A and B are shown apart, each in its own frame.
Chain A
Amino acid sequence: MNVSERTGCGTIGPGDTGRTLELFGWVDARRDHGDLLFIHLRDWSGIIQVVFQEAALKALFAGAETLREEFCIRVTGEVVRRLAGTENPGLLTGEVEVTATALEVLSRADQLPFPISEKAMIAGATVSAPANVAEDLRLQYRYLDLRRPSMQENLKKRHRMIKKARDILDEHGFVEVETPGLTRSTPEGARDYIVPSRIHEGAFYALPQSPQLFKQLLMVAGTERYYQVARCFRDEDLRPNRQPEFTQLDIEAAFVDEDFIYFLMEEIVCRMFAEAGVALPRPFPKIAYADAIARTGTDRPDLRFGMHFVHATDIFSDTAYTIFRQIVRRDGHIIGINVKGQSEALSKNILQNEYAKQIVPGFGGKGMTWMRMTDGKLDSNIVQFFSQAEQAAVIDRFGCEDGDVLMIIADPSYDVTTRVLGQLRLHVANRLELIPEDTWAPMWITDFPLFDPLEDGGVTSTHHPFTAPDRIDFDPSDTADLLNLKSRAYDIVINGEELGGGSIRINDARVQEKIFAALGLSRNEAAEKFGFFLRALAYGAPPHGGIALGIDRMVAMALGVSSIRDVMAFPKNRSAYCPLTRAPAVVSREQLDELGLFKAVQTEKDLKAYEQSMADTLSRVSRIGINDGERQTVENAVSRAEEIAEAVLSIPCENPPAFSPIRLENRTRPGKTPSVHPASTDGKLLSNAPETSGDFIKVAGIIEH
């Protein structure tokens, strides 16, 4: 193979007409016209149509007829212009095609588990969307899924974005330093993935949740500007868009302040997004944490749309409406949003029966009050309880006009009031499609509280215990004072998603000790947990600060894909399982013995428990519970499956697998109009749901909150 003579399929154009080219790639699609056979040949530069003509090349044609999707082939042929009217504007190379003169099948492909082609062979035709393929199947055959040009494009864009960040950091004098993957388990943050040590039997490494302590040690070490594209591991509860391992752009610099970080990061983030064709507005506004909560109920505000909170507690200080009066008396809060001009979309039924009775309680609120503005007056089932002055004040404060809908949350707790109203604001915006597309609202959230209160009267770090406070003259034993402290932390939020965060760190061991004291850690406990790090702070640590950006999430957002798995080459599924490699997997008793892991569980009962855990593992992954009375039967059946598998695998056989007794073929239903099954429109399809509420099927909550 002469690599330099190879031409990329997607690079061929009218200028190549008449040239004879050697092409390599995969059969993306084929179309058989009897005496003419067309294929789409795909490599990662693009797709070109290749034509095999029966009349000219009988032997070649017979070979071509055996071609199936995803065969890897070499084709030699001449570039010709397509006949007028047969161009395919869906292809970048659609004005030309290659007339084949030689064909070599480099390797054959089994029947595909799902279609890969994304380009129609005929202009205007549709191809099946990969969205319809079960994600676990895509992940199981990830090497086929990644052949899809859109997935390759995601990987390339991701590479470009990361390279851009590296280039900018390099320009600013940062160096990339790798920190250890096997480290010590530290007690802050999420749960660690732990790795048993064979040499130090009974002891464990942990995979890093982030390189936090190492990057700070690098600052102490005088590596003034550090960065790393770092892999991080967190054993957290499952959420749809969360992965057990993820990549972050980790940055730390000495002798810097917040303004340096803001400038540098805006430069990096904007230019990374620009690689994906997104122009972010600069500079990013800075919003204090307390303002963000007061305006949107969240420290990740989505400011692409309005509906900011309107605080109305004072209006109802002396109201006749009992519910509000009681809230006010308990020093509670009455806050609302004005959904402008949506009274037609938000009917009384939707407001009362869906939002007030179902949706808001689902967010953790006790209820919701709503009003609509009609003919210059407020209208709702409770307006009668409000005085004329109260109504006038509401109209004025919320800026009410005809057609507006007010949704109001009242609760004794400020936290509950703002959180519930924040979720409500997003719900309404999504439902009514009030969030403009192609709008970008990046921002910094600053001035976080340094501590959050604990139920036992103590405090805990809002971020982590190394974050610098805004002042150092605090008394570690004065909880009220501690809760007033602000941190020098900052988060980057874009369109309601937190893409990263960081802080200026503590570089003075005495301040660090005060923080530990505030957290209720004795000197000994602090030394036990962070001893090596505290030692380092005692040797002239420079002022420093940094940030970490979630690369997967940022790339997904910039590329407009909803799942971070679509911008990772080999992600786990939503259950933190890899269908491709089938990890995690049970390991042999011998391996566990070697690691000393059986030392602690050597009783007969414990060993049995380990051996029986297969049924429980399967129960968990397949979500089928086992009744006590069935356990033995199920366990016997699983043991039997192991015997059967052994018997099957002991029989030699090289045939391609037959998943069906007949060869399944793609076939198109006749006609050109889409077929809509009546049961899908008249509600009958869903009439069997075991639990319903109005027009909705009720299901239990997804784990995500």
Chain B
Amino acid sequence: MNDKSDNLLWYANPDSPEGINAPDEITAVLRPNLSVAGWPAEAGSKALENYRPPEDAAVVAHAGKAGARLIGMSRMSELGFGITGENAPRLLSENRCNVFLGTDGMGEARHTAALAGAWGFKPSFGIASTTGVIRLFSSLETIGIVAAAPSHLKALAGALCRKDEFDFSMLHDGLPDFFGPGKAAPPDEVRIGILPEQIDLLDESDKNAFESAVAGLVGKGFRVEPVSFPEYGNFQLVHHVMGAVEAFSSAGKYDGVRYGHRAKTAGNWNEMYLESRREAFGALVKSFLFQGAWFQFKNYPAFEHAARLRAGLIEQTRELMGRVDFIASPVRRGDRDASAAINVDDVYGAFALTIPANVAGLPSLCVPGLVSRGDTDLGLQLTGGHLKDDQLLDFAATHLAGA
């Protein structure tokens, strides 16, 4: 395994050297929570120490068939909770690859894109296979695609979002058509909603940056209007409670029996789990897992109630997406650094703008170069209606590419 400081890749594919050979070649780095047969896939955690999956994740196989050249894996946050310590943005911005494939459970792929000045896409929940994807959140997390070029993004979205008979959580009907004729409406028919409750989270500099971007959108002829969403604050509460419980449940499989780290001192079965898992998880993820354990064991009604609130949020976003085509916001807040978050509240604070799409299962896109706070690109986030992924990508490619 490569672990040299001069090499940004956490794992380099010995059969395929780093670097982009031609602009139209897809040169991809993977987050090591996507399985590639025989490659290490530790998902940033000691809990998966030395784990080498027996086969490719379905999406990895699709990417290969679509012509992507896999050059290696990046460094990732523990189990993909946030992007603490990740280096994918640097790999992209230094042109060491032009595509990054990972996951998006609270906005990780969109943040990576915004930090790299690239395009980032989280598809609707239920249209991309998660077979072979090491996820933390079962109902919140999808794959995530980041690409320097919008054409690569669309090509990969089409290639990766397809049925998988081994993934029983997928939808089979009403799926978006990524290969059909473009669906971009003329600008004056496009309605873009702004949620004042979301924009209220921004500091003055971010607000100014976003207002300039909105002015640019209005200038292009789009109908931009504020649409109130009084329950916006519920998105974060719901994600935090349900996310913690889902993470706790997912992490249950890291017991040091079939794979991963096992403590040496274990006397009996119980101790083996307790000690192995004590050593396996870092403080950030462990704190989050304990929150999940608390909801699960000590306050299950809070979890169930969060799921009730989620039903309300899904219904209201569905209703909202009947009135507007997309919701716009920045991807990230200039005053929060997701890659440096060290406690659970920091992580949630950094991802406050991207979480709603995960809670409601909506497609969401990061468009680079439109929301700038000084030299910093905050990323323009466009969120579309459920299963209207094709419409979202077509719109952005037609009207916002090359901005």
Contacts and interface: CB of A to CB of B under 8 A. Distances in A.
Interface string A641-685: 110110111010111111111101001011000000001000011
Interface string B270-314: 111111011101010011111101110111111011111111101
A388 interface: no
A661 B270 contact: no
Contacts of A640: 291, 344-345
A624 B237 contact: no
A625 B275 contact: yes
* Range class of the A interface residue count: 35 or more
Contacts of A629: 283
Nearest to A586: B298
A689 interface: yes
Interface in A533-550: none
B257 A689 contact: yes
A667 B309 CA distance: 27
Contact of A626 (B240, B257, B278, B343): B278
A624 B286 contact: yes
B51 to A, nearest CB: 5
A623 interface: yes
Contacts of A641: 244, 290-291, 294-295, 299
A636 B267 CA distance: 30
Contacts of A633: 283, 286-287, 343
Given A657-B304, A658-B307, A624 B267 contact: no
A646 to B, nearest CB: 8
Nearest to B259: A688
B50 A618 contact: no
A59 interface: no
Given A659-B139, A661-B126, A664-B169, A634 B286 contact: yes
Interface string B135-171: 0001100000000000000000000000001001101
Contacts of B300: 582
A662 B171 contact: yes
B256 to A, nearest CB: 6
A387 interface: no
Contacts of A634: 283, 286-287, 290
A653 B139 CA distance: 20
B287 A648 contact: no
A630 B286 contact: yes
A651 B259 contact: no
Given A627-B278, A662-B125, A697-B257, A657 B310 contact: yes
Contact of A624 (B244, B268, B278, B297): B278
A489 to B, nearest CB: 31
Contacts of B281: 624
Interface string A298-341: 00000000000000000000000000000000000000000000
A638 interface: yes
B105 to A, nearest CB: 13
B266 interface: yes
B264 to A, nearest CB: 9
A480 interface: no
Contacts of B260: 688, 690
Contacts, number: 200
A651 B307 contact: no
B278 A699 contact: no
A173 interface: no
Interface in B145-200: 165, 168-169, 171-172
A640 B315 CA distance: 28
A83 interface: no
B101 interface: no
A344 B334 CA distance: 72
Interface string B301-336: 110111111111011000000000000000000000
Given A658-B311, A661-B125, A679-B55, A623 B274 contact: yes
B19 interface: no
Given A660-B169, A661-B360, A699 B272 contact: yes
Contact of B234 (A626, A651, A690, A701): A651
A56 interface: no
A577 B255 CA distance: 20
Contacts of A660: 125, 138-139, 169, 361
B248 interface: yes
Nearest to B291: A641
Given A625-B277, A684-B54, A653 B126 contact: no
Contacts of B165: 669-670
A645 B241 contact: yes
B360 A655 contact: no
B223 interface: no
A586 B289 CA distance: 20
A692 to B, nearest CB: 10
Contacts of A700: 266-269, 271-272
B309 A648 contact: yes
Contacts of B171: 662
A204 to B, nearest CB: 26
Contacts of B168: 667
A654 B54 contact: no
B69 interface: no
A648 B302 contact: yes
B359 interface: yes
Contact of A644 (B169, B240, B274, B310): B240
B168 to A, nearest CB: 7
A613 interface: no
Interface string A598-637: 0000000000000000110011111111110110011011
A585 B52 CA distance: 41
A178 to B, nearest CB: 35
A626 B315 CA distance: 40
Contacts of B248: 622
A689 B258 CA distance: 4
B302 A645 contact: yes
A702 B268 contact: yes
Nearest to A626: B278
A626 B293 CA distance: 14
Interface string A30-74: 000000000000000000000000000000000000000000000
Contacts of A662: 125-126, 169, 171, 361
Nearest to A625: B278
A689 B259 contact: yes
A703 interface: yes
B259 A637 contact: no
A618 B290 CA distance: 7
A699 B273 CA distance: 10
A21 B298 CA distance: 47
Nearest to B278: A625
Given A662-B361, A703-B268, A648 B237 contact: yes
> A582, A658, A667: which has the most chain B beta carbons within 10 Å?
A658
B207 interface: no
B241 A701 contact: no
B261 interface: yes
A622 B269 contact: no
A690 B50 contact: yes
B259 A690 contact: yes
B258 A686 contact: yes
B122 interface: no
Nearest to B289: A624
Interface of B: 49-52, 54-55, 125-126, 138-139, 165, 168-169, 171-172, 234, 237-238, 240-242, 244, 248, 255-262, 266-275, 277-279, 281, 283, 286-291, 293-295, 297-302, 304-312, 314-315, 343-345, 359-362, 386
* Across the A-B interface, the 3 shortest Cβ-Cβ residue pairs: A625-B278, A661-B361, A657-B307
20 contacts: A614-B294, A615-B290, A622-B293, A633-B343, A636-B287, A641-B299, A642-B294, A645-B294, A645-B302, A648-B306, A649-B302, A655-B312, A657-B310, A658-B308, A658-B314, A659-B242, A661-B361, A667-B172, A688-B260, A699-B257
Given A641-B291, A655-B315, A690-B256, 19 more contacts: A586-B298, A623-B270, A623-B277, A624-B274, A624-B293, A625-B278, A627-B283, A634-B283, A645-B295, A648-B241, A657-B307, A659-B242, A661-B126, A661-B386, A688-B50, A688-B52, A689-B257, A690-B261, A701-B268
